[in-house]
Structure 1
Amino acid sequence: MSQPAPSNENIAQVCLLAGKIMLESGGETYRVESTMNHVASAFGADHSHSYVTPTGIIFAIDGSSPITRLIRISTRSTDLRKVTLVNAISRRISQGELRPDEAIRELTAVDQNQTRYPVWFQILAAALASGCFLIMFKGLWADFAPAFVTGGAGLLALTYFHRLLPIKFFAEFLASLLIGAVAYLFVRTGLGHELNTIIIGSVMPLVPGLLITNAVRDLMAGHFVSGVSKGAEAFLTAFAIGAGIALVLSLYAGGYAA
């Protein structure tokens, strides 16, 4: 016995949920639109349209019972595991393995899954990465430990300040300020040797690499609104990091001159 054709309402619900998860988890705009259109086509809605920006998704289906839906995106992070899971569900839908109700259940489980690396592990990884970046930028092995501590302290500060006041750029400014101050203290006490390389290695975990990459890819794909907005966000993040470090360096230069 053949299954009844899915309604446009259910198709739109599946597409919007998939797009929401991908966009909130760091997926590129063109990839989100492509996934939504492929899912809709797999369910028989060949005349679907999606418009995605970093802050919202508009999805519409033409036909005898047209439907248009809008969903707001208020939070964005980096969780490429969820993007991979949504892509896997999308492929199963295209192969006819999932009905809309089954797809909604699986996507909802992915959306509600908050399993991530614990904060202590993220801080440890950032600290280790900072030390490795210092060596990559031709720093001294004697500065590995100062960069390790400074990078870990920077991510810890970013996490704490973002929870205290959820303003991303303010938290990044304060975290970079702390990184510069800790690096300066290491050099001042003689435990560190090259201030510049310690700072460069320590701020690397804060650099918005994914934002820059997605901005360039969206611009190349013709999504100028998303590309420019993500580029602006990356620029503001870089400015916040640079401003915090510049403040410390200016104070350091003044103290050194004195």
Structure 2
Amino acid sequence: MEMEKQETYDIMAVCLLAGKIMLQSGAETYRVEDTMMRIASSFGAYQSHPYVTPTGILFSVEGNEPTKTKLIRIVERTTDLEKVAQVNGISRRISAGEFTIEEAYKELKKIGESGSPYSVWIHVLAAAVSSGCFLIMFQGEWRDFFPAFITGGLGFLSLMYFHQLVPIKFFSEFSASLLIGLQALFFVTTGIGGELDKIIIGSVMPLVPGLLITNAVRDLMAGHLISGLAKGADAFLTAFAIGAGIAVIFSFF
């Protein structure tokens, strides 16, 4: 019996690790719960009950012996869809019987401990290019592509810096948008840029929580009301921080 209980705890550890990686990487709530249940079922735990919110995961498994419900906290959340896809791949291989519990845990541990495959400067370059492209998409002038490129790249770099300095999302997003507004104003007043509004709109787009809004709506549609409302509130605060930073610039200049 003791061995069966220990095996149940091992299954719970694998499921919780998979759910933690996915939730920290920006996966939807329903996807996290579905993956955890599929993994548990593949290892023989057919009665599993995951409960996922943006800040924590509760998980229990029914069996012959009573088991403890386990809880893990989720503090850091980012967007890394590569890790979500990797965990989904591990889940499919578990369902196909390719992994034991120990092997699955080791593979998930590797995924969780791996960093981003792209450096900080690649992220900044991608933000800069996308800012210029968003400006053109919003019918801006080509002469403003370079100002938007510089403003968007420096704004995204400042977002990462301020987040490391003070790990409060609202502060880092407000400060980054404030800096974007100042840079855009500088380009326009010096004559390098032409349309202030288009430069600002293009530059703040890499900061907009698009995935968070999409996941919030998807969770609400799937019936996960708490997660959907929580993610929606998070997205609202992010949008408010961005708008407040830009509003300060327009108020004084």
TM normalised by structure 1 equals 0.95
* Percent of aligned positions that are identical: 65
Match of 1:255 in 2: none
Match of 1:115 in 2: 116
The 1-side partners of 2:121 and 2:57 are apart by 34
Q: Secondary structure at the match of 1:7?
A: helix
Match of 2:19 in 1: 19
**Residues 48-59 of structure 1: pairs in structure 2 closer than 5 A:** 48-59=48-59
In the TM superposition, residue 86 of structure 1 has moved relative to its aligned partner by 0.3
In the TM superposition, residue 115 of structure 1 has moved relative to its aligned partner by 3.4
The 2-side partners of 1:176 and 1:89 are apart by 39
Query: Would you identify which runs of 4 or more consecutive aligned residues in structure 1 move more than 3 Å?
Result: none
**2:178 corresponds to 1:177:** yes
Match of 1:221 in 2: 222
Query: Aligned residues, how many?
Result: 249
Gaps of 5+ in 2: none
Gaps of 5+ in 1: 253-258
The 2-side partners of 1:246 and 1:115 are apart by 33
Match of 2:8 in 1: 8
Q: Secondary structure at the match of 2:59?
A: strand
Match of 2:250 in 1: 249
- Verify the 8 A CA contact 1:8 1:65 in the aligned structure 2: no
One-letter code aligned to 2:56: G
Query: What are the Cα deviations for residues 123-179 of structure 1, in whole angstroms up to 9, with x where unaligned?
Result: 111111000000000000010011011001100110111111111110000000000
- Verify the 8 A CA contact 1:8 1:66 in the aligned structure 2: no
In the TM superposition, residue 66 of structure 1 has moved relative to its aligned partner by 2.9
In the TM superposition, residue 116 of structure 1 has moved relative to its aligned partner by 2.9
Match of 2:201 in 1: 200
- Verify the 8 A CA contact 1:154 1:176 in the aligned structure 2: yes
* Higher mean C-alpha displacement, 6-15 vs 152-161: 6-15
Query: What are the Cα deviations for residues 92-138 of structure 1, in whole angstroms up to 9, with x where unaligned?
Result: 11111111011000000100011331111111111110000000000
TM normalised by structure 2 equals 0.96
In the TM superposition, residue 215 of structure 1 has moved relative to its aligned partner by 0.3
The 1-side partners of 2:233 and 2:13 are apart by 31
- Verify the 8 A CA contact 1:29 1:218 in the aligned structure 2: yes
| RMSD between superposed Cα atoms in Å | 1.1
Match of 2:82 in 1: 81
